[in-house]
Amino acid sequence: MAFEFTDANFKESAVETEGVAVVDFWAEWCGPCRMISPIIEELATEYEGKALIGKVNVDHNPEVSLQFGVRSIPTILFMKGGEVVDKHVGTASKQALASKIDALLN
């Protein structure tokens, strides 16, 4: 299951980690977000123990969204060592997201 990032846990979970974190910014009312949600869940399961993959509900966590300048959703940030190294806005295939994660893990 995808990790639930919040304003309260984001810094310690995604920024202060040496590993790879993939953060999906979403909202319940967003159609494209609901389309990509099952892909994020599958990736979270497949990469468990290798990368932290989770979601931020932008309606409930405005600080993180503002901090990273998220204006369109879904926005997916790819982080390594606490730094944003890649970003994707909009829907994407599972294969496209997995290849970005694989590149960060190698």
Q: Would you name the residues annotated as active-site residues?
A: 30, 33
DSSP string, 34-62: HHHHHHHHHHHHHTTTTEEEEEEETTT-H
Closest CA to 77 of 64, 93, 95: 64
**Helix and strand counts by DSSP (H, E) for the chain:** 4, 5
